[in-house]
């Protein structure tokens, strides 16, 4: 699929995986529209050239629809949408303060799973309006799962449930959208050196890196972005969740 000259939508674009993906796609010749919460955008670094940052809560229809309308107005066909927005609070089902907060569980599922589905469905509708390429393809949607979808650790009940939902959604979405020439893939990252990791000390980060088989380090956000570009180039990949984890299988804790 041709990225150059197309429009791309990236959520969670203020930092981490989303920022790295937006920057790489822009360097590849796409006009990138990055969505994130307004508070996140206020603290974000200046965007890369050819990246337009827009405030949007992915769990709400109106701001995502407005971003897609802006893409339509610029006459560049939307060919790629990448769902990077997500949250990862930790809580045990039974903790010292009692049962897991139901509101927290709902919030995690709302952002990670419902938000992903919201962007997926609206992006698919926009892609379906465009003319297909010479191979009949109109676009690609990439979701972000996690290896926690398969090996959730202690304290990850909400996060694991949401990311397992993303992984499960991907094949069904690929089948649903096949008639429209739209592929759907997911990436399941392992331990990535994102701003979320900055809360840990160097000692903790080193201990985490030591659990990775090889390469024995944390992944870089740019490696996630590179995988996005690879999936866009490989037209026969569809409906699959690709692990990016250096052979890591998470222990219970």
Look up 159 and say whether it is catalytic: yes
CA distance 150 to 153: 10
Q: Which residue has the tokens 């995690």?
A: 108
CA distance 141 to 180: 12
Helix ranges (DSSP H) in the chain:
16-27, 38-42, 61-73, 102-109, 115-128, 157-177, 202-210, 221-233
For residues 130 and 6, the answer to whether their CB atoms sit within 8 Å is no
Residues 6+ apart with CB under 8 A from 207: none
Residue of 10, 3, 78 lying closest to 48 (CA atoms): 10
CA distance 88 to 68: 27
Residues 6+ apart with CB under 8 A from 244: 187, 188, 189, 190, 219, 223, 224, 227
Instruction: Tell whether omega for the bond before 215 is within 30 degrees of 0, i.e. cis.
Output: yes
CA distance 38 to 189: 25
Positions marked catalytic: 159
């Amino acid at each position: 699929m041709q990225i150059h000259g197309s429009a791309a939508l990236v959520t969670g674009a203020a930092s981490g995986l989303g920022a790295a993906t937006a920057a790489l796609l822009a360097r590849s010749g796409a006009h990138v529209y990055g969505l994130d919460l307004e508070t996140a955008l206020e603290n974000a670094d200046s965007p890369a050239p050819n990246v337009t940052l827009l405030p949007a809560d992915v769990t709400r229809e109106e701001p995502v629809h407005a971003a897609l309308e802006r893409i339509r107005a610029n006459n560049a066909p939307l060919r790629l949408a990448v769902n990077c927005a997500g949250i990862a609070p930790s809580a045990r089902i039974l903790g010292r303060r009692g049962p897991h907060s139901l509101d927290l569980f709902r919030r995690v599922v709302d952002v990670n799973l419902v938000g992903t589905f919201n962007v997926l469905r609206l992006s698919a509708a926009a892609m379906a309006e465009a003319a297909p390429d010479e191979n009949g393809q109109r676009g690609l949607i990439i979701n972000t799962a996690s290896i926690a979808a398969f090996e959730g650790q202690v304290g990850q009940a909400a996060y694991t449930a949401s990311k397992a939902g993303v992984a499960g959604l991907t094949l069904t979405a690929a089948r649903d959208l096949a008639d429209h020439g739209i592929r759907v893939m997911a990436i399941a990252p392992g331990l990535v050196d994102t701003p979320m990791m900055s809360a840990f000390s160097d000692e903790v980060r080193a201990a985490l890196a030591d659990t990775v088989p090889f390469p024995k380090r944390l992944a870089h956000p740019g490696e996630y972005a590179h995988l996005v570009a690879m999936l866009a180039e490989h037209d026969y990949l569809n409906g699959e969740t690709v692990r990016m984890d250096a052979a890591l299988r998470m222990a219970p804790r």
